[in-house]
Amino acid sequence: MIKKLKISLLALCTVLVSSCELDLLDNPNAVTTNNTDINYLLNQIQVSFPGHFNQFSGADMGLIRMINQGAAFYDNAVTPGGLDGTWNTAYANILNDVKTLIPLAEKSELFVHAGVARTIRAAVLANLVDHFGDVPYSEALNAANFNPKVESGTTIYAAAIKDLDDAAANFTARSKGGLSSDLYYGGDADRWLRAANTLKLKLLLNRRLIDAAGSTAGINALIAGGKLISNNAQNFVFRFGTNLTNPDTRHPRYQGQYLPAGGGDYQSNAYMGIMYDKADPRIRMYFYRQTIRNSTDVNQLRCITNSKPNHYSVSDYFCVPTPVGYWGRDHLSNEGIPPDGLLRTAWGLYPAGGSYDNDAGRGVTLGAGAGGAGIHPILMQSFVDFMLAESALTLKTTGSPKALLESAIRKSMADVRATALGTSEASKITAFEADKKIVWADEVDKYVAARLADYDKATTDADRLNIIANEYWFALYGNGIEAYNMYRRTGMPRNMQPALDPNPGAFVKSFFYPTAFIARNSNAKQKANVTTPVFWDNGSAGTLK
């Protein structure tokens, strides 16, 4: 079996990876004859998954206006060469390790191990299909096949759903042993079961455009089963630490921004502007302002001397979204980098483990705030209720869309609050709120009341869905994957800021295939453009911008 494993890894390097070297087999962190251990394999799968999530989520957040997408045209936003690492992480690491682990786990009757591996594999397969469309699967991990063909997204989604059903059975079976290491749920099989079911809910919701009846039946069955993520302890998150080196355990967004000279991502002007205007209580935890005054220096903020583009509407945010230092960039702005590394709005306390915004207006520093002890919000309790609200409205599944909307907003507020107060920034939060006489619960109640009033004023289901989508968009900060899916599925939120260029090309409906796949596989064929939809996107969402 070990010999077969080594051959399989070598084949994957040849077929799928552009920079794989033979000495990978001697890497002390890789699967070898000396460390092919089921607990080691599962740990490797768990450790690889956050990187996979971050690679896709980062690209998606730029497309969906959570952060700035630093390309002027959509064709340049997701280049083939920039996706090789994403492809490698999925195939050569996670999928190959899962394929190796499952038969070992089942032979040893370690069913929880098998269930975790199947859940993560299903998530990876869904993400591959949701971003690339048709991709290799069954042939990709065959050591005898150096040119695997793609399979339809429909087929791979079916395989992912079967994985989740099998995982659910694994989690309820009698296992001979538990997990020796679990980076997500501490070995709790019931919480893993809820994560698997919630992932299935996501897949069924994506499929609602092409199989309304099947999605309705499947979602109602999940609701009736009562085993979806429903509280904070069940949230599917990956938690980062504060260690700087050997290894660096900090949140990747924190790593890129909390530096002596600052830098890192530009936030989205529109995203921050809407949150500010709506008095969203989460804004001080999402964003950290390095200055609380808008710059008047054109060398720092070049757009202040420019007029709003003609193709922008009156309500579209441009350049400076607020009067108090929320400093980001407009959609598809690819201008150069001025000396603003210690001025631009930074990632805050949630989810990146940065600083809480208490109006200090100081530049970021290495180790500031929570030191990078943030989370990847993969599947949260609020996401469940937002998905169920959309489903109840569009498919008439069990539940009241309005009640689910309220529950979803409140759960998002609670999760952000709990995450923030669980960090070293907690005393800063309570001191600032006491000084400013801010009562968190009251701020949440006011926000919820305003959103429910908007919902009551809506006269069509499309308008109601837009309100649900807007609120889901804000709850998803840090998770571009689900926001990207929602936007293609619904065409909402409607208030998306246009690109700076009036002709940026068509919105990305799926990504180009990576260079590593196209260059090394004789059966691979690159897409002509990024407008090819994935299988579940039937175009009913309309024209996306």
Domains annotated for the chain, with CATH where assigned, are: 2-55+72-211+510-520 (1.25.40.390), 252-490 (1.20.120.840)
In terms of Cβ atoms closer than 10 Å to its own Cβ (0-12, 13-18, 19+), residue 339 is: exposed
Structure tokens at 152: 């339809």
Residue ranges of E strands in 267-351: 287-288, 346-347
In whole angstroms, give the CA distance from residue 365 to residue 519.
42
| Segment (H or E) for 411 | helix 401-421
User: How are beta strands 236-239 and 375-379 bridged, if at all?
Assistant: antiparallel
At 15 the pLDDT is 38
Q: Which two tokens stand for residue 408?
A: 């979803």
Q: What is the pLDDT along the chain (545 residues), one digit of tens a residue?
A: 433 333 333 333 333 333 333 333 344 444 543 446 899 999 999 999 999 999 999 999 999 999 999 999 999 999 999 989 999 999 999 999 999 999 999 999 999 999 999 999 999 999 999 999 999 999 998 888 889 999 999 999 999 999 999 999 999 999 999 999 999 999 999 999 999 999 999 999 999 999 999 999 999 999 999 999 999 999 999 999 999 999 999 999 999 999 999 999 999 999 999 999 999 999 999 999 999 999 999 999 989 999 999 999 999 999 999 999 999 999 999 999 999 999 999 999 999 999 999 999 999 999 999 999 999 999 999 999 999 999 999 999 999 999 999 999 999 999 999 999 999 999 999 999 999 999 999 999 999 999 999 999 999 999 999 999 999 999 999 999 999 999 999 999 998 999 999 999 999 999 999 999 999 999 999 999 999 999 999 999 999 99
**520 contact partners, CB below 8 Å, separation of at least 6:** 14, 15, 16, 18
pTM over 0.85: yes
The helix (run of H) or strand (run of E) holding residue 375 is strand 375-379
Distances (CA, A) of 351 to 253, 257, 369: 9, 13, 12
DSSP, residue by residue, 456-476: HH--SHHHHHHHHHHHHHHHT
CA distance 434 to 431: 5
Phi-psi region of 202 (alpha: psi -120 to 50; beta: other; left: phi over 0): alpha
Q: In the predicted model, what is the mean pLDDT of the chain?
A: 93
DSSP reduced 3-state for 55: helix
Neighbouring C-beta atoms of residue 43, cutoff 10 Å = 17
8 Å CB contact between 386 and 457:
no
Distance CA 389, CA 400 (A): 7
Neighbours of 30 (CB within 10 A): 14
3-class SS of residue 99: helix
Q: Which two tokens stand for residue 299?
A: 């060398």
Residue 227 near residue 193, CB atoms below 8 Å: yes
The pair of structure tokens assigned to 322 is 């607020």
* Per-residue pLDDT at 230: 98
DSSP letter string, 439-451: -HHHHHHHHHHHH
Write down the pLDDT at residue 350: 98
Chain-centroid distance of CA 148 in Å reads 28
Determine the pLDDT at residue 495. 86
CB-CB contact of 461 with 469 (8 Å): no
Q: What is the pLDDT of residues 4-59, one digit of tens each?
A: 333 333 333 333 333 333 333 344 444 543 446 899 999 999 999 999 999 999 99
Closest among 278, 282, 290, 291 to 420, alpha carbons compared: 282
- The tokens 């649900």 sit on which residue? 468
Rounded to whole angstroms, what are the CA distances from 83 to 71, 79, 96, 478?
15, 7, 18, 19
pLDDT of residue 36: 63
- Distance, in Å, from the CA atom of 526 to the CA atom of 83, rounded to the nearest integer, reads 13
71, exposed or middle or buried, with CB in 10 Å at 0-12, 13-18, 19+?
Answer: middle
The angle at the Cα of 534, spanning 84 to 517, to the nearest 5 degrees, equals 25
Structure tokens that stand for 3 in this block: 């010999």
**Burial call 369-381: b when 16+ CB within 10 Å, e when fewer:** bbbbbbbbbbbbb
Structure tokens belonging to residue 78? 């997701």
